[in-house]
Amino acid sequence: MLIRENPLMLDGPVGQLEALYLEVPQPRGLALLCHPNPEQGGTMLNKVMSTLQRTARDAGYITLRFNYRGTGSSAGSHDMDLGEVDDANAAANWLRIRHPGLPLTLLGFSFGGFVAATLAGRLERQGVTLEHLFMCAPAVMRLRTEEPLPRQCPLTVIQPDADEVVEPAHVYEWSAGLERPHELIKVAECGHFFHGKLTDLKDLVLPRLAP
């Protein structure tokens, strides 16, 4: 039976947020997905986001992806900073309130990697235990010391080795300087948008979700 995501509108900090929500039978966790740069056309329908959503679905996760403020039918205008993190926080709260007994995993791509990582740190400081944080081709240059990463949940960074948007060397340098344990995976002969490598991306993420 084909399971389709359900479109809905969530209450966000500056108005409603457009989202796609999927429930699965006997879920093992929750997955919140954060999309790439909206000023460069990034939305929740980006093909990397769709791949990550299907991967989480196939692993038995309830999924929620959403458009930041000013993107698609979401209210407001782009902040390109902590405003989008506030949007993600609202989406995470909606998901956690709806399913209070399930652990939360965050997955972010590009700009969404910054959003997911910053949100993960916030949630951990609020006492929320996260299951996993995935950062794919993450915009690490946007991270800031006053919004530190989580220290407890597993962290997986997946970086294309031929990324034409996020300089791989910046990600590798950032990874080398991280004081917390994490996993860095370099994807050879792969550009920022994982052209021709989406199956590889799924194969990397799927076994790292909860068995």
Q: How confident is the model at residue 211 (pLDDT cuts 50, 70, 90)?
A: low
Question: Nearest 5°: CA angle at 33, between 31 and 34?
Answer: 150
Please say whether the dihedral angle defined by the alpha carbons of residues 84, 87, 93 and 95, taken in this order, is positive or negative.
Answer: negative
- β-pair partners for 185: 158
Task: Quote the mean pLDDT of the chain.
Answer: 96
Q: Is residue 210 part of a domain?
A: no
Q: Is residue 123 part of a domain?
A: yes
Q: 25 is in which domain, residue-wise?
A: 6-204
Q: Is residue 110 part of a domain?
A: yes
Q: Is residue 209 part of a domain?
A: no
Q: Is residue 116 part of a domain?
A: yes
CB atoms within 10 A of CB 181: 8
Give the Å distances, CA to CA, from 164 to 133, 144, 189, 190, 194: 23, 23, 11, 9, 11
Domain count, the chain: 1
The CATH number that applies at residue 22 is: 3.40.50.1820
Q: Is residue 115 part of a domain?
A: yes
Query: pLDDT, tens digit, for every residue of 140-166?
Result: 999 998 999 999 999 999 999 999 999
Q: According to the model, what pLDDT value does residue 3 have?
A: 80
Query: pLDDT, tens digit, for every residue of 29-79?
Result: 999 999 999 999 999 999 999 999 999 999 999 999 999 999 999 999 998
Q: Which residue has the tokens 């909606």?
A: 94
Lowest-confidence range among 2-6, 73-77, 133-137, 157-161?
Answer: 2-6
